[in-house]
Structures are given as C-alpha cells and as structure tokens.
Chains A and B, each alone.
Chain A
Amino acid sequence: MPEVLKAPLTVEFPFTRSLSPVQSAFLTGLRERVVLGVRTTDGRTLVPPVEYDPVTAEEIRDLVEVAPTGTVTTWAWNHAPRRGQPLDTPFAWALVRLDGADTALLHALDAPGPDAVHTGMRVRVRWAEERTGTITDIACFEPYDGDPAEPAGHTGQFEDPVTGIVAPARLDYTYSPGRAQTAYINALAERRNVGERCPSCRKVYVPPRGACPTCGVATSEQVEVGPHGTVTTFCIVNIKAKNLDIDVPYVYAHIALDGADLALHGRIGGIPYDQVRMGLRVEPVWTEGARYPDHYRPTGEPDADYDTYRELL
C-alpha cells in the first residue's frame, strides 16, 4: 500500500452567540466584579445562573448577588494545561460553591501544587484585569483564608449590559483521505485521471470514494478516464471568493470525463464565459508542478450530442 497522504486541517470559527436576560446579567456582572445567581421557586440559588430551573423547568428570573468567595466541592490537578485553558501553568480544575450559592461553578484554581488543594478548601475569585463580559472575566480562583465576603445586594440591573459573546473555537486535525482518494490524488499528480469501477453495476466513479453509493460495495478496479470530457451543466460565478485569485465572472462546470459515469467539477477557461455551453468538449490544463488541473479548456472538438451525457448531469 502506498504511503498514506496527510495534510493539516484547521477548523476555526468565532462563534457569535446572543445571550438570554439571565446570561446577560451574569456576564455583565462579571465585567463589573459582581457574581450573580438566580433563585429558584423553592429557594435554591443557582450559580452560574440559568433561565430555567433544571428540576422543574420553570422560568426563573430572580437574580441575587452572591459572594466572590467560596468552597471547593471537587477538584482535579491539571499538570499539563492545554490550549485555551484559563492558566498556562499547572493548576487545579475546581467546582466551587460560592458563599450564598447552592450549586457550584467550574473554573481553574491557581495553587502551587496538588498538595495545596483539597475538597472543602476556601477560595476566592481572582478577577481578570481586562473584563468584557465573558466567563474568563474570572481569571481563576485562588486560595483564601479570610471570612466570607459580603455581597452588596446587587439587583442585576446594569447600564450597558452585554448582549452577546464571541467564543473563538479552533481544532487542528490531520486529514487523511483514505485508500481510494489517495490513489486518485497520487495519479492526478502524474496528470492521470484514475477512477474506480463498481464490481456490481460496472459504473466508473471519478473521483472514487471507495464505495459504490448505489450498490454499497467496495470499488477497487482502477480505470483511467479522460483526459477529454464534456461539460454537462455549468453556472456563471459573479462573486469573487476570498483568497481566490480568479477574475469574475467565470464558469464552474460539471464535466463528464470520457469513460466516467459520474461528472466531476472544475473551472472552465480559455473561452469567454458567455460562450460556455452544455456539450462543450474540454480538456484539463496543468500548470508546472501542480498536483491537479488548474482548469479545463475547450478542445475544439464538435459539441457532444445531448444523449451522450444526459445521464451524467
């Protein structure tokens, strides 16, 4: 088996999320160094606060300030912090029940080592220097041996409340395309289009994905197709894509390579966009050192008869 192809793949989004009234009050409070909980109808105070009682599902809106001091209810020592976590030096994850709250909040606890942490230990909030209305406005918790702080009785009404958060998320993957697509991509780098034939229905798939989607069986017999093909259908692109150095308008087309039973897609060049048509005969254009065709251009052959590609639209 040839060497497996691999490539880095980063999936990254800045998730923009709107906040409910309760979430808005809580996160605005953190910005102002106030910790708010929400009272349930049976008198418990939930911190962090939620909009609905997790037991009864009742809507709850009764905000109440709690202290920035509290007690560790459980913890775990993280000797190797990972990307995005609150501290980049070893720390304890901790669930902390703040004074005045009946539930616990998850955050980091900055402590010199695991021997300095125990369930029941007293801690207080260490505020971030710059606060914008997010959970990371709490930089972390830190050990505290004083009396419980007295909450000031804040109502949860703020000027200029935050109404949303932007939560960046990034995950790094190593993409490998599998057996069939690896073979396809490797052949393409040699300027050959190699599909695979279904042993059952005999269709040739280009690009192959390793299975015949009609029959549900593995494809394996390799079949070279093209290089010429037929435009089966197309569209005219008028919106310039970010980071793509192609002038608009241009034509993007389904192309049935000769011998293939599935159309692939590619850009059509070497012809004015408004002269591209169904049935146009095309061939791939390679640039120096490229692993795949840059685009397809007309071969000059007569147009294909509709009946020759009607099943490949």
Chain B
Amino acid sequence: MNREIAVVAFAQTDHRRTSEEFSEVEMLMPVLHEVLGQTGLKTADIGFTCSGSSDYLAGRAFSFTLALDGVGAWPPISESHVEMDGAWALYEAWTKLLTGDADTALVYSYGKSSPGPLRDVLTRQIDPYYVAPLWPDAVALAALQAQALIDAGDTDEPALAAVAARSREDATANPHAQLRGSVPHGEYAVRPLRTGDCPPIGDGAAAVILAAGERARELCARPAWIRGIDHRIEAHGLGVRDLTDSPSARLAAEKAGAFERPVDTAELHAPFTSQEVVLRKALRLDDGVRVNPSGGALAANPVMAAGLIRIGEAAALVHRGESDRALAHATSGPCLQQNLVAVLEGDPR
C-alpha cells in the first residue's frame, strides 16, 4: 500500500529559558489547542496520538502520562510515546498512517530543561560502563567533534562564528525563538566551542498533525507531503566513529529520497555550529539551499521538541508556499549519533 501522508498543521510555544510558572501539561496544552484549531479537528477526530519526551529533563517520573491530560484521552484513545525527540514520534505516527489504521495523527513533544543541569543530564544517555562514569557533558562531546573538524580542515573558529551569527540573524524573523539578533561569540565553553557555538538552554513544546490522502487536502490548503522519511544510527562508541562525517544522516537522506532532486530549503537540527558543518557535507547541501531560515536549534533548542520543530518549520514553509521541496532533519544522541531525514513537498503551484 502506498498512501500519501502530509503534515497539515504545526504549532509551537515561544521557547524560553524557563517556564517555571507552568507544569509540563500547562506549557503543552495551548500548543495542542492551536494545532487542532488550525485544522478544526477535535481529539475525538484524531486516529492516533504519539508523543516524545524524556523524564530525565525535569526529573519527573512518568511525566508523559500527566502530559496526556492535555490531550483529553477519555474515552481511551489510540496512543503511544517515545522516549526520544518528537521527530521519532512523528516517524511512528507516519508508519501508523501507512498501515491504514488511521487517517489522522496528532504528534507532540515537549521538554523542560530548566529544572535540571542539562549538560549533566544528557550524560545519562551514553554508555553506562565505559563513558557515563566520567560524566562527559554534552558540550564537551560536541567540542571533541568540533576539534576533529578543525583538524581535518573542514572548518575553523571564524566559520563557526559565522554559522552562529547567520542563525541568530535569521531568528529575528521567528517570534518563537529564544536567542536572536546579535549574540556575542563569547568565551570558550569547552574549547574550541564558545558559548555562541552552543544552543540556548530552554523550555518549549511543539505539535503537528499528519493526515493521509484526501483527508490532508480537506484539512490544509497546501499539505506538506512526506515524500520520504528514514532514520539511521551509528555505533555508540565515540572512538569508533569518524566524527567529521555523518554516514547515518547521509544514508537516511538517501533512503528518504533527498538526493533524487535538489531541495530549496533545509531545516537542520544542529544544536552546535560545528554540527551544521558535518550535516551540510553529509546531506550535500550547496550554497543554493536555504539552511535554517527559522534560526534552527542555535536559536531555540527545547530538547525533545527541537527535532520535531525542524519538520514543523519545513512543513510550514510548504504550507505558506515559501518552499516546494524541503529537507527536515532531526538528531539524537551525542555528536549526531542518530539522524532522521524527511523530505517534504507541496503540490505544484
């Protein structure tokens, strides 16, 4: 069976350093209402609901079950959750729609990084035997990758600064961004990465609605059709990988059909400036491609939602007629360990 499936709506919070006045469900609920409102759908009309989040961020066990309160899950709904970025929840929803079991899906994700020490929290996702006992934080691991790129001649500190400046400049047009405009490149966080090379730490949520076939055309004037989507992972051992390349991103892009025709826009989930260098190479993006017009993760990086936001931002460009063929990318794990690529297209105008 070959069903056409599209992103038909996208909403996100304003991403902020802290949302301490709201619980997770209080932060998430307005986004759910907004994305449903864009399509006129109600919870009861949704065939499948899938979310992505991590209890480690805010340190609250089973927080995703409390977040479900914001959906209105009674009578019982068909629902699933991934302890991953919402982009992977979208992947699960896409497969569910492919089977024909559902015609519409609500996908959401959220992350409150403000309650905890994010750099340290993220050490808990890595090899618990040989690596996690050393507590190598997220910035340190990204810095190892950045130095490898500098050693290989793929980039240098001024080039990284330029990535940061372009991203925050583009983010001035994004009302949801946390960090925009002129941001100093700053002091070293972990050398060679400076504070300006790192994403802001913040809280936020996002949601999209998927629909299949004619249902998508009923719900959206110009659906963002998912022409292909795939995700791939690399070995967990950092010292096994070539950190200057991303074979998993390249393979995911190939399987998603990204190389069949050029894309006009790419929304890349590159929380660190150096990671954009890796992804541009792996995804063969030349200077003609608009990269991260939203400002990307360097402008707002609500962990667990930032990947889904890339898909949402790319889809929104298609909805508005500002892109005809866009690539959206999400990542997970240290140093771009796991990568998801989706190719979105609008109907010919």
Binding site for B on A (CB under 8 A): 1, 4, 6, 9, 11, 15, 17, 19, 23, 26-27, 46-48, 50, 54-55, 73-79, 82-86, 93-95, 97, 103-108, 114, 119, 134-136, 165, 167, 169, 171-182, 209-218
CA distance A87 to B24 in the complex (A): 36
Question: Which residues of the other chain, B, contact A93 by a CB distance below 8 angstroms?
Answer: 136, 140-141, 143-144, 190
Segment touching A, from B112-120, B161-169, B311-319: B112-120
B147 is an interface residue with CB less than 8 A from chain A: yes
CA distance A162 to B238 in the complex (A): 25
Given that A75-B144, A178-B23, A212-B72 are known contacts, is A165 also in contact with B129, CB under 8 Å in the complex? yes
CA distance A26 to B120 in the complex (A): 26
Given that A48-B237, A74-B151, A76-B140 are known contacts, is A84 also in contact with B22, CB under 8 Å in the complex? no
Partner of B188, one of A77, A95, A104, A136: A77
Question: Which residues of the other chain, B, contact A1 by a CB distance below 8 angstroms?
Answer: 21
CA distance A211 to B192 in the complex (A): 45
For this complex, 9 residue pairs linking A to B, each with C-beta atoms less than 8 Å apart, are A1-B21, A83-B120, A85-B136, A93-B136, A103-B239, A135-B130, A171-B120, A173-B116, A176-B115
Majority secondary structure, A binding face:
mixed
B121 is an interface residue with CB less than 8 A from chain A: yes
A64 smallest CB distance to B (angstroms): 16
Partner of A174, one of B32, B66, B70, B115: B115
User: Apart from A103-B239, A174-B20, A213-B74, what 5 extra A-B contacts exist at CB < 8 Å?
Assistant: A103-B237, A135-B131, A180-B23, A210-B23, A213-B69
B71 is an interface residue with CB less than 8 A from chain A: yes
With an 8 Å Cβ cutoff, the count of chain B residues facing the other chain is 61
Binding site for A on B (CB under 8 A): 20-26, 29, 32-33, 43, 56, 58-60, 66, 68-74, 115-117, 119-121, 124, 128-137, 140-141, 143-148, 151, 188, 190-193, 235-240, 243
CA distance A75 to B238 in the complex (A): 12
Contact across chains for A82 and B26 when beta carbons are under 8 A apart: no
Given that A104-B239, A135-B134 are known contacts, is A76 also in contact with B26, CB under 8 Å in the complex? no
- Name A170's closest neighbour in chain B (CB-CB): B120
CA distance A103 to B144 in the complex (A): 15
Contact across chains for A76 and B146 when beta carbons are under 8 A apart: yes
Contact across chains for B130 and A48 when beta carbons are under 8 A apart: yes
CA distance A169 to B120 in the complex (A): 10
A154 smallest CB distance to B (angstroms): 19
B41 smallest CB distance to A (angstroms): 12
Question: Which residues of the other chain, A, contact B33 by a CB distance below 8 angstroms?
Answer: 217
- Name A118's closest neighbour in chain B (CB-CB): B151
Contact across chains for B144 and A209 when beta carbons are under 8 A apart: no
Contact across chains for B72 and A173 when beta carbons are under 8 A apart: no
Question: Which residues of the other chain, B, contact A106 by a CB distance below 8 angstroms?
Answer: 130-131, 134, 136, 144, 238-239
B76 smallest CB distance to A (angstroms): 11
CA distance A46 to B173 in the complex (A): 48
Question: Which residues of the other chain, A, contact B74 by a CB distance below 8 angstroms?
Answer: 213-214
CA distance A283 to B179 in the complex (A): 51
Given that A167-B133, A212-B69 are known contacts, is A73 also in contact with B23, CB under 8 Å in the complex? no
Given that A135-B130, A135-B134 are known contacts, is A211 also in contact with B29, CB under 8 Å in the complex? yes
B244 smallest CB distance to A (angstroms): 9
Contact across chains for A77 and B191 when beta carbons are under 8 A apart: yes
Question: Which residues of the other chain, B, contact A167 by a CB distance below 8 angstroms?
Answer: 128, 132-133
Contact across chains for B68 and A171 when beta carbons are under 8 A apart: no
Given that A76-B146, A76-B191, A176-B21 are known contacts, is A171 also in contact with B133, CB under 8 Å in the complex? no
A52 smallest CB distance to B (angstroms): 10
CA distance A177 to B63 in the complex (A): 12
Partner of A82, one of B23, B131, B135, B193: B135
- Name B74's closest neighbour in chain A (CB-CB): A214
CA distance A106 to B236 in the complex (A): 12
CA distance A97 to B116 in the complex (A): 34
Contact across chains for A175 and B147 when beta carbons are under 8 A apart: no
B326 smallest CB distance to A (angstroms): 31
Contact across chains for B136 and A216 when beta carbons are under 8 A apart: no
Question: Which residues of the other chain, A, contact B72 by a CB distance below 8 angstroms?
Answer: 212-217
- Name A200's closest neighbour in chain B (CB-CB): B72
Question: Which residues of the other chain, B, contact A180 by a CB distance below 8 angstroms?
Answer: 23, 26
Given that A173-B115, A179-B21 are known contacts, is A46 also in contact with B129, CB under 8 Å in the complex? no
Given that A93-B143, A106-B239 are known contacts, is A216 also in contact with B117, CB under 8 Å in the complex? no
